[in-house]
Structures are given as structure tokens and as C-alpha cells.
Amino acid sequence: MPRKPHKSTQDKNAGSLRIIGGQLRGRKLSIANVPGLRPTTDRIRETVFNWLQFEFTDAQVLDCFAGSGALGFEALSRGAQLVILVEQDRQATQLLNDHARTLSAACSGRALVQPGDVLDFLTTPPAEPMDIVFVDPPFRLDLVDRTVALLDQNQWVHEGSWVYIETEHDWRGDVPLHWRLHREKVAGQVAFRLFEVGVQQ
């Protein structure tokens, strides 16, 4: 009896995630099978979006290190006007584009996938700053500090912007002095914090 052709695990999706609130609540999204991809858990996502529950209507949102799109698409579902998802992995980007087309057609906002390295992307100032930024990079690669510095230096955020940062639990990096820590929590090996951007002195 002939064997079935072997499929590499890289050709398969790594499961799915569920949008937990808003217009697209209950939608399931496939996750690309990419080494190191670590979608924000439902529990953490629910906490973060409760922190930000009144901030999404007509917001401009940037999802750095988008990966599965869990954070960006959740923001889209909750009323964001524009969500930019930056991701450099080709397989993940293809899946993000598929989801962006489907979900943008089903709600009032628009999702735009930007392929490439987020540190390169942030070197160019935006046409207008973002209202909400998600920073959830792969752990242990020293990416948070550099990302935060570029966001601040190149006017990606404005007074009143919210910046969510998800890191390993023992991260001890720095953020600009005018970013005020609003909330923080630890769940197992993950720490997550929400900052509000203040007036730069």
C-alpha cells in the first residue's frame, strides 16, 4: 500500500486563535507555524483590552511584531479605524494578508499588513502618529528598548497615545521618561505593561 506524501510541519498552520470582543467576536484565525511565534493568550488579551476598552473607536493602531495578528485584529474588531500590522516572516505575512482582507470587509475599519523588519519600518516618521501601539516581540532578542526608542524619536506616538509592551517577566529595560506606567501585570513567565505617553520636556 503506497504511503501518503509526507507534509512538512512548516506547511501546516499551528492552530488558531479566537477574537474575543467587538464586531468580529468569535471569529477564528489560523496561526502560521513559525518558530518562536508566541501569540498573546486569550487571558492576557482580555485583560489588556479591558484596560483599553474605551480607546479603540476610530483609533490609529500599530501592531509591531504582529506575528499571529492577535492584538491588531482584536483592535480592528473593537472599532479601530486603521490597524497597521508589521511582520517580517513571509509565511506569517501571507496569512496576515488573508485575514486582513477578510476581516476588513466585515467591519468598519481597515487592516494593512506591512512586510519587513519593524526597526527599519520605524526609522521613517509616519504621516500621522498612532493612538495605540502594541510591542510584543520575540523574547530574549533585545528588541523592546530599540523599538521604544524609535517610536518616541520618530514621532510614532503623541501625547495621550497608549503603548502596550509584552516581555519576559524579568525584563528591566527603559522607556522614555515622559511615558507614564498606567497598568502592569505578570502572568507566569510573561510581564505586560501599558504606558500612556505624556508631554516631552
Percent of the chain with pLDDT over 70: 92
What pLDDT, on a 0 to 100 scale, did the predictor assign at position 73? Answer: 96
Q: Within 13 A of 39's CA, how many CA atoms are on the CB side?
A: 24
What pLDDT, on a 0 to 100 scale, did the predictor assign at position 201? Answer: 61
Alpha-carbon distance of 125 to 142, in angstroms, equals 22
Q: What is the residue whose three cell numbers read 497598568?
A: 183
pLDDT for 149-159, tens place per residue?
999 999 999 99
Nearest in space to 121 (alpha carbons), one of 97, 138, 143:
143
Predicted structure pTM score: 0.89
What pLDDT, on a 0 to 100 scale, did the predictor assign at position 12? Answer: 53
- Residue 82's pLDDT band, with cuts at 50, 70 and 90, is very high
Per-chain mean pLDDT for the chain:
89
63: its cell numbers = 501592531
- Residue 3's pLDDT band, with cuts at 50, 70 and 90, is very low
Stretch among 12-16, 58-62, 115-119, 164-168 having the lowest mean pLDDT: 12-16
User: Would you say 167 and 98 are in contact if contact means Cβ atoms under 8 Å apart?
Assistant: no
Query: Regarding predicted confidence, which is higher, 91 or 139?
Result: 91
What pLDDT, on a 0 to 100 scale, did the predictor assign at position 175? Answer: 92
Residue 56: phi and psi, rounded to 5, are: -90, -25
Q: Are strands 82-87 and 60-64 parallel, antiparallel or unpaired?
A: parallel
Q: What is the residue whose three cell numbers read 523574547?
A: 139
What pLDDT, on a 0 to 100 scale, did the predictor assign at position 6? Answer: 39
Q: Which domains, and CATH codes, for the chain?
A: 9-197 (3.40.50.150)
- Sign, CA dihedral 111-112-113-118, equals negative
Nearest in space to 68 (alpha carbons), one of 41, 108, 105, 43:
41
User: What is each CA distance from 35 to 45, 50, 62, in whole angstroms?
Assistant: 21, 29, 23
